[in-house]
Structure 1
């Protein structure tokens, strides 16, 4: 997929009450609740949470978390707060610098969403917290008594209901993650892989958290980096006789020493271990319906990782001849700029078999970088983000007129919006208002050469007459016939339309063009490529 400035970018947008360094509601009394909002509810249980409440007051966050809004709060118990103070040499919560205290409370708070235990999944929580970071859930042996946040703090109280959200009690205070992927690779166990990353010039990418730029009108923009890395520890390399970077280069049979060249063998090897978006362990096992295997793109050009469910275990690049694949030593190692997974094989490039590919038309790093809400299943309200061409590299379009407003938009719908959105892949879709004969182009995921049956799925909306006629082409060759995306027979519905069969002569990414024939609204979800003989 395309990556702006060779990195994942993310537009930071925080609610003002949570960004402020002072409590904007310090002198306000809230009495509109029949029950108790979060701060008052925590204060009503002093035997558990009195020290966290004191920290909230010190951080000027107490009244903010009494607002009639929606929050998910992970509140450490008194013992956990005391251990945190002791570890840092502080006698009282007021000894914590106020700025640090505010950051700490925000780190434990997710705004605008209520996440109960029933929504926990093993992996990264989609909704970012008030410091714009992703927390993660880990299930260990022990059922509901062994759920950990960030792999560091056990959740000791689940689903404490407040009028403005939900509270989960923590055994320990979370120490905010500040380490980048590159920082994690600083562990001496990863010395060989780290040297390879440095040699191919990927250090800055894996060490960057935010990129600051300006839009075409000069307004400041902040882009947030989010990636995935599959890291190989030294002891795993040693199993294949690789004791240093020179051995790895020899094992890869690298030609030449221009390691930063994208086609160099060492550069391709490193890029093969990197993904352009955050993919938690749970995301990696989220296969298309009816499938137990999928191929995912890497930063290495036209190189794929295969992930499969084999006897209930997630395995990458399973080699039937060797009767083994790549397994995970440790999953979901949180980083400030993404997530890292430690693997048990040195993981050279691998050519997988053809499998069914589900191409979500919104599955691009640019969109994850720019959208405050992205592929989120638990929204309380619909999220829509429109784009200008200068903001994106994943889409290229020409509208009629050329500077038509709202020509391209991303929409992530709340779960309460029914089957029309519930059945959409990743709960989102792309909305195109290109004008008559306007068009948009985008690159497909890497597809292994061969023939495929191509089916487009779109969100069909109700109109008195069919509208939203479109025509698709792939690499300049027409796909099927024209068809409308609206309907006269049903309410909103998810529709599927067979476009055609298509043969790709080479493995790689391909260009899809969608033309808006009549210029009416197009609401598109995903395309399925099913291998055929």
Structure 2
């Protein structure tokens, strides 16, 4: 071959190799990616592939990442086209197809084990949530599409095959309620007169603050109002409008409707597990409770009286709108004006504690170890894996020196400097009516106890750190008050002046049931049972709140070193801070003699 021929051959080889396509593996596993899976199964997904191609998202779902695609089959897409008067995918605008894809894709891997009766926690790329439930043993999405083949694992995520196209809700909450005017005419008219109809009329693309993007409305039907003697909007206004000005935020009708609306998209499951939802009525919450499959609104015990809750009607709930979720309540619920009352919280007697202990509760000599787990949902450790012997203790025979209210206590292991001990513990309080309270921590003195500081609703915008310290190694005799004074008639005032009190009844006192007080090896002084004023809290919403006790200083760092008994929440304007007092015998209450 001549030199010219060699040169020509070299050029041809270079051109040939420079045009050769390089294949890059984009996934981190050997599984085919989402787009690849669809391409391998054209008999099911060829029309979806057309949508991906026309919307220019085919490469997106073929690249490395973590996605969940709710993939409509060819039959599902053909039905959707027919319902919309279209003959083929080519008849749909590219922008609409892009939104189609966005509404069917979640940037997260969501298998059916994460499904519940409620929204999927991660929104779609469209910016709205999908809702899942189970019907006849099959998973559904948005109450319309059934998952026909689930959890198809690909190299970059999961495919959930569905038998219908998912369509974003077209109506706003206001429009959804108005479309059911034959059922909700009274509530609808109230929405309009109070101005909430306009705020619930959000359309996609409207400029609203993020917290108002989604809202939840709990409506009441005309038939429910009829049982209350309310047969028209005017009847409702006559009952609730105190100023004859429904758009005035101080008018009770405005507050009544505001109390039925909350920010956020809350499905039934979200409401049932939340325990309380904040409403648009300032400072007012709706308490929630999940009992079996029923969600109850405002079922709670106040001042020893159980107030039955209003159930949500599931068949008329979880109705999706473009800006939130609509529910219906079976009974009327409304803001209740409540008076502040003292709350005496036995830390070992919370509803969650009783439920956790079950039939074993108050058995003789019972000691329940935490073994690395919280004692109950109302007791939350800083780190459950290092509970270090913390326990619930019950003594059927009162300790002569250190009795405990109702015979039980929490025996916790605190230490600020040891990595093996808890640095804090949190308690979920009973319901506190909004207002200001003095907070008393009642403990049983122990020589190895921790030094504790309290905070209210830690980690929130309204967190309050209380100023006083409880030195649980200190008894009432260590305050510089002589034993003579502690036995005298002015002892309670002397203690209160220093921010302390007795909380256990003395031997000389008699209960409401005629029982005598606690026998104390130290005489009538009861020096080992200490009530310490931690400070004052401002409760802005009637709700259950969090009190955190944090170990400060070095302390002794012993196992089970801090003996906690009660928390008292007493209104600041209540002149009675000393009584009632308590006994080792469960249920015995001692009023001021």
1:143-190 Cα distance to aligned partner (Å, 9 max, x none)? 2xx211111211111101010000101110011123221121112222
State the Cα distance separating 1:131 from its structure 2 match. Answer: 0.9
2:263 maps to which of 265, 276, 289: 276
Change (3 A) 1:347 1:160: same
CA contact (8 A) 1:212 1:223 kept: no
1:492-523 Cα distance to aligned partner (Å, 9 max, x none)? xxxxxxx97566687648999x9xxxxxxxxx
Taking the aligned partners of 2:139 and 2:273, their CA distance within structure 1 comes to 21
Unaligned ranges ≥5, structure 1: 1-26, 214-220, 288-293, 359-417, 421-443, 456-469, 484-498, 515-528
Q: Give 3-state SS (helix, strand or coil) of 1:286's partner.
A: helix
Partner of 1:396: none
CA contact (8 A) 1:317 1:326 kept: no
Partner of 2:111: 116
State the Cα distance separating 1:321 from its structure 2 match. Answer: 7.8
CA contact (8 A) 1:306 1:316 kept: yes
Change (3 A) 1:41 1:227: same
Once the two structures are superposed, the pairs formed by residues 371-520 of structure 1 within 5 Å of their partners are 447-449=432-434, 478-481=466-469, 508=541
Partner of 2:90: 94
CA contact (8 A) 1:297 1:446 kept: no
Change (3 A) 1:304 1:323: closer
2:253 equivalent to 1:266: yes
Which stretch of structure 1 is more off in the superposition, 201-210 or 264-273? 201-210
Once the two structures are superposed, the pairs formed by residues 185-224 of structure 1 within 5 Å of their partners are 185-187=177-179, 188=181, 189-208=183-202, 212=207
Partner of 1:400: none
2:328 equivalent to 1:326: no
Partner of 2:62: 66
Change (3 A) 1:193 1:39: same
Change (3 A) 1:261 1:129: same
CA contact (8 A) 1:106 1:129 kept: yes
Partner of 2:216: 228
Taking structure 2 as the reference length, what is the TM-score of the superposition?
0.54
Change (3 A) 1:327 1:75: same
Partner of 2:72: 76
Query: Could you say what the CA RMSD is over the residues aligned between the two structures, in angstroms?
Result: 4.3
State the Cα distance separating 1:279 from its structure 2 match. Answer: 2.1
2:45 maps to which of 39, 46, 49: 49
Taking the aligned partners of 1:505 and 1:223, their CA distance within structure 2 comes to 25
2:277 maps to which of 273, 290, 296: 296
Partner of 1:406: none
The structure having more radius of gyration, on CA atoms, is: 2
State the Cα distance separating 1:103 from its structure 2 match. Answer: 0.5
CA contact (8 A) 1:226 1:337 kept: yes
Taking the aligned partners of 1:246 and 1:28, their CA distance within structure 2 comes to 75
2:35 maps to which of 18, 39, 44: 39
Change (3 A) 1:471 1:531: closer
Taking the aligned partners of 2:38 and 2:440, their CA distance within structure 1 comes to 54
Partner of 2:158: 166
Q: Give 3-state SS (helix, strand or coil) of 2:150's partner.
A: strand
Partner of 1:85: 81
Unaligned ranges ≥5, structure 2: 1-20, 353-382, 386-428, 442-452, 457-461, 472-531, 549-565, 570-579, 581-593
Structure number with the higher strand fraction is: 1
Taking the aligned partners of 1:501 and 1:331, their CA distance within structure 2 comes to 44
Q: Give 3-state SS (helix, strand or coil) of 1:285's partner.
A: helix
2:234 equivalent to 1:246: yes
State the Cα distance separating 1:194 from its structure 2 match. Answer: 1.5
Taking the aligned partners of 1:350 and 1:471, their CA distance within structure 2 comes to 30
CA contact (8 A) 2:80 2:165 kept: yes
Taking the aligned partners of 1:479 and 1:504, their CA distance within structure 2 comes to 11
Change (3 A) 1:531 1:270: farther
Change (3 A) 1:78 1:256: same
Partner of 2:322: 336
Taking the aligned partners of 1:193 and 1:357, their CA distance within structure 2 comes to 36
Taking the aligned partners of 2:77 and 2:384, their CA distance within structure 1 comes to 44
Partner of 2:167: 175
State the Cα distance separating 1:419 from its structure 2 match. Answer: 8.4
Q: Give 3-state SS (helix, strand or coil) of 2:133's partner.
A: strand
Larger RCO, structure (CA 8 Å, separation 6 or more) = 1
Q: Give 3-state SS (helix, strand or coil) of 1:207's partner.
A: coil
1:305 maps to which of 275, 280, 286: 286
CA contact (8 A) 1:232 1:343 kept: yes
CA contact (8 A) 1:37 1:65 kept: yes
Taking the aligned partners of 1:261 and 1:349, their CA distance within structure 2 comes to 16
Taking the aligned partners of 1:101 and 1:28, their CA distance within structure 2 comes to 30
Q: Give 3-state SS (helix, strand or coil) of 2:318's partner.
A: strand
| Runs of 4+ displaced beyond 3 Å | 27-33, 209-213, 221-224, 309-312, 318-324, 350-358, 444-447, 449-455, 470-483, 499-512, 529-533
State the Cα distance separating 1:313 from its structure 2 match. Answer: 2.2
CA contact (8 A) 1:53 1:62 kept: yes
2:273 equivalent to 1:286: yes
1:316 maps to which of 297, 315, 334: 297
Q: Give 3-state SS (helix, strand or coil) of 1:250's partner.
A: helix
Q: Give 3-state SS (helix, strand or coil) of 1:192's partner.
A: helix
